[in-house]
Structure 1
């Protein structure tokens, strides 16, 4: 099985051959038409017209072959550019997947830090409430005379 590069190389060779053949056929047709024009119309034979018709058909087939070969070359170039674009997009997808994973890791880390800080805030609020309670108890203790003094007074 031929590789794409070998097919392209062969197609280019065929194009060159067809262009040379087209040039030869055009030259033959031109010479034949000159010969037919230089003779009086009564002497023009059917042989020259038949040759001219055959060469015309040959030229049409050569033109068709050239057109098809050029389409193949253009298609190959287009497929090559599509493949390059596909590779570029795959690389971009890989990069985006990596970036997405990094962002997920960063989000998980930020969520963990947030949870730790929220827990720290709750702990500090509880400590603050406890300290306020202890402060209020101490305040009440200072307002009342000590219990020992009450017992000794009686």
Structure 2
């Protein structure tokens, strides 16, 4: 039975093992589709790291899903993505397997989590993910509460993150 939360989903982690997102129970999660060769890479990773450093101990987690759907800007395998982020940003988000956030040429290729995220927080004009670094903010109960465009700097919604961190379970 679906509760309409991210806890209903299992995804592949960076080494290909299935992981239940109920591991985030009671935490605030920022889910992001990432790419290493995007014009938004530097600013987003820098600010995601800053938020992670400030709020990790209070319960913020960054869930990064590499995606090569937009301009082929994430050609690396998951191990290389992890090394890239560590070396360039001294940051280790929760890294997952590469995903197709908008599906692919074959039916069923869209990652179910991303289908759910788009349904919970629709986009402007269309629900499809439009580019790398689309961000979904999830509260401590696993509900998707906000969607932010790729060009929206993560620190611009820091106040909302703090508000969610301050909420009681």
TM-score normalised by L of structure 2: 0.16
| Larger helix proportion of the pair | 1
Structure with larger RCO (C-alpha < 8 A, sep 6+):
2
- Greater Rg over alpha carbons, structure: 1
